[in-house]
A and B are shown apart, each in its own frame.
Chain A
Amino acid sequence: MNLRFHCFLLVLSFLVFWVLLVALSIKVLMMLTTVVKKMLTKPLVLALLFFISLSGLFGYASYHFYAEKQLVEERLDVSEANAKLLSSALLKAEKARELADTITSEYVFDSKDIITSKEDVLNKIDELAVVVEAVKQDAFTKEEKNAIKYVPLDGNLPISIRGLLAEACLHAKGDSCDNSK
């Protein structure tokens, strides 16, 4: 019984508190309205309208520039990503150019080696031809020279020539280069 009475009192005080609060708010509002009505002269209204317009303008400008800022920031992000990609591509292109230069240099160097080897063998053949010619001049008569003018198809190549040809074959890293034996 005592507990019920206490609950009733609590609810009652709560209701009274809210009723008083609402009444006080209404009173304050009414007072404010009265004060504002008294204050609202023509210049004040004009000033108020001016400030409202100015606020609207600033609000719109803020919204507009904020949107533009967002757009610019987005473009900046894209540009940064593109710049990174371009930078990476540039570095790769530079590396590729260096590789191409290196490989080309290697090719030129190795190619010169092959050409030098070839010239060496060709010179040896020229020297050999001179020696053979000298031997022929001394050893054979004119008829004999004419007789040996044509080499039989199944005749063996001179051993010295065979050696040089095998050397050329070896330089070319060819197959079956051992026929000089």
Chain B
Amino acid sequence: MTTPNSLLIAPCVAYGAGTTVSSLAKGYVKSTSCIAQWQLLLDKQIKHKKEMRLLYDEPK
């Protein structure tokens, strides 16, 4: 069973630092948030794979 298309997306991209402390901070916040989204996506993909293994009794 393949991963659903809804979990095969790029949730965000990395952000630049800009030229000011403020933009640097914003870039950091956006990029860390982006990492969190990617991590979440990966967790859900892993969860989906585990559930499919259980459902179809596939070997690990």
B7 touching A172 by the CB < 8 A rule? no
Contact call B48/A125, Cβ cutoff below 8 A? no
B35 and A172: CB pair below 8 A?
yes
Q: Is the CB of B21 within 8 A of A174?
A: no
Known contacts: A96-B52, A100-B48. The answer to whether A173 contacts B7 by CB under 8 A is: no
Determine whether A95 belongs to the interface, using a CB cutoff of 8 Å to chain B.
Answer: yes
Q: Do A125 and B29 touch across chains, with their CB atoms under 8 A apart?
A: yes
Majority SS at the chain A contact face = helix
A87 at the interface (CB under 8 A from B): no
A107 adjacent to B41 (CB under 8 Å): yes
- Taking the complex as formed, is B14 at the interface, i.e. its CB lies under 8 A from any CB of chain A? no
A103 touches B47 (CB 8 A): yes
Alpha-carbon distance between A165 and B48 when the two chains are bound, in angstroms: 32
Q: A106-B44, A107-B41, A158-B21 are in contact. List 9 more A-B contacts (CB 8 A).
A: A92-B55, A96-B56, A100-B7, A104-B4, A104-B6, A107-B44, A111-B41, A172-B39, A173-B39
The interface of chain B, by Cβ under 8 A from chain A, is 1, 4, 6-7, 11, 21-22, 25-26, 28-30, 32-33, 35-37, 39-41, 44, 47-48, 51-52, 55-56
